[in-house]
Structure 1
Amino acid sequence: MDDDRVWAFEESLWTGDAEHYRELIDEACTMVLLVPPFVFSGQHAVEAVAATPRWTKASFSDQRIARPEEGLIVVAYHIAVERDEEKFAAYCTSTYRRRAHDDWQVVQHQQTVPLTET
Structure 2
Amino acid sequence: MEDARVWEFEESLWTGDPDTYEALIDPECLMVLPEHDYVFTGAQAIKAVQKTPRWAEVKFSEQQVSRPQQGLIILAYKAEASRSDESYLAYCTTTIRRLEHDEWRVLQHQQTVPLKAG
| Superposed CA offset, 1:24-55 (max 9, x none) | 00011100011111001131122123331111
**CA–CA separation in structure 2 for the residues paired with 1:117 and 1:14:** 26
TM-score, L = length of structure 1: 0.95
Mark the runs of 5 or more structure 2 residues left unpaired by the alignment.
none
Instruction: Name the counterpart of 2:29.
Output: 29
Q: Contact 2:95–2:108 at 8 Å: present in 1 too?
A: yes
Instruction: Name the counterpart of 1:51.
Output: 51
CA RMSD after TM alignment:
1.4
**CA–CA separation in structure 2 for the residues paired with 1:34 and 1:73:** 23
**CA–CA separation in structure 2 for the residues paired with 1:73 and 1:117:** 33
| Superposed CA offset, 1:52-108 (max 9, x none) | 111111111000000000000000000001111310010000000100100000010
Amino acid at match of 1:47: K
Mark the runs of 5 or more structure 1 residues left unpaired by the alignment.
none
Give percent identity, aligned residues only: 53
- Is residue 74 of structure 2 the alignment partner of residue 71 of structure 1? no
Runs of 4+ displaced beyond 3 Å: none
Instruction: Name the counterpart of 1:86.
Output: 86
